């Protein structure tokens, strides 16, 4: 009798303000490296840690994410955080996906390394670590010193000691592209061509975002 294979999903968390090719390469790399069945992009509704710069309207960020991922059958986009009022906590999001996909599902939460470092200092991090694994995407040259205090285990079979978190680190050269730089480029009239899918770039310009 063949045993039913449990589903492996990646949850790609981010503000995506705006989404760019660095995010897309990250998701594709995670899909391949971790043999995921699919990657679900989850644009943050109200990012819990962002009060200084107001993010673009969540529905617009969601729409840009849909445009960016439309041609890839392995990518989906979820409105789970967009539809929720108040801050989007990762623990609530992962809990909802656990309910949808069941206890057997292997869930990987994928996001930027800086965000991962914040999440693990957050009070519910230990509970969260029991519900999913973390993939931290870094730009080349990113200083990994802070991760040394954590448990960075590139071997899936080894479990971390109690109180430590397992974080997989993925270096993504395309993450030289950043949302901050794109917003800056738009503001100053520089080109954003080839930094993001053409449809998203056109949408940003058409809707006059980031001016």
Question: Which residue is nearest to ligand NAP, using beta carbons?
Answer: 112
Asked if 180 interacts with ligand NAP (CB under 6 A), we say yes
Report the residue from 49, 53, 126, 193 that binds ligand NAP according to the rule CB under 6 A.
49
Q: Which residues, other chains included, contact 49 with Cβ-Cβ below 8 Å and sequence gap of 6+?
A: 118
Query: Least distance in Å: CB of 157 to ligand NAP?
Result: 25
Separation CA 8–CA 61 (nearest Å): 26
Element (H, E) at 104: none
Residue with tokens 């800056």: 184
- Binding part of the chain for ligand NAP, among 67-75, 159-167, 174-182, 188-196 by CB under 6 A, reads 174-182
Backbone phi and psi for residue 70, each to the nearest 5 degrees, phi listed first:
-55, -35
Query: Least distance in Å: CB of 164 to ligand NAP?
Result: 19
Query: Least distance in Å: CB of 189 to ligand NAP?
Result: 20
Find the farthest-apart pair of alpha carbons in the chain and give their distance in angstroms, rounded: 62
Q: Which residues pair with 2 in a beta bridge?
A: none
Asked if 34 interacts with ligand NAP (CB under 6 A), we say no
Query: Least distance in Å: CB of 210 to ligand NAP?
Result: 13
Asked if 58 interacts with ligand NAP (CB under 6 A), we say no
Picking from 22, 18, 87, 16, the residue whose alpha carbon sits closest to that of residue 49 is 87
Where in 97-126 is the site for ligand NAP (CB under 6 A)?
110-112, 114-115, 118-119, 122
Asked if 48 interacts with ligand NAP (CB under 6 A), we say yes
Length of the chain counted residue by residue: 211
Query: Least distance in Å: CB of 204 to ligand NAP?
Result: 14
Picking from 27, 48, 34, the residue whose alpha carbon sits closest to that of residue 168 is 34
Through-space distance between the first and last CA atoms of the chain, rounded to whole angstroms: 60
- List of residues contacting ligand NAP (CB under 6 A): 12-15, 23, 26, 44, 47-50, 88-90, 110-112, 114-115, 118-119, 122, 137, 175, 178-180
């Amino acid at each position: 009798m063949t045993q039913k294979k449990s589903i492996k999903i990646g949850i790609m968390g981010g503000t995506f303000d705006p989404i760019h090719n660095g995010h897309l390469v990250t998701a594709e790399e995670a899909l391949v490296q971790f043999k995921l069945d699919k990657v679900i992009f989850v644009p943050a509704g109200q990012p819990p840690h962002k009060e200084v710069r107001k993010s673009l309207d969540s529905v617009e960020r969601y729409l840009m994410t849909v445009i960016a991922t439309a041609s890839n059958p392995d990518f989906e986009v979820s409105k789970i955080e967009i539809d929720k009022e108040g801050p989007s906590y990762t623990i609530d999001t992962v809990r909802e996906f656990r309910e949808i996909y069941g206890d057997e599902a292997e869930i990987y939460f994928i996001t930027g390394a800086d965000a991962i470092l914040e999440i693990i200092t957050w009070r519910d991090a230990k509970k969260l670590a029991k519900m999913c694994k973390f993939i931290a995407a870094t730009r080349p040259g990113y200083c990994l010193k802070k991760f040394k205090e954590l448990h960075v285990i590139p071997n899936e079979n080894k479990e971390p000691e109690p109180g430590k978190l397992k974080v997989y680190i993925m270096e993504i050269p395309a993450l030289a592209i950043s949302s901050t730089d794109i917003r800056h480029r738009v503001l100053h009239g520089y080109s954003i061509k080839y930094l993001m899918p053409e449809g998203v770039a056109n949408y940003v310009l058409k809707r006059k975002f980031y001016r």
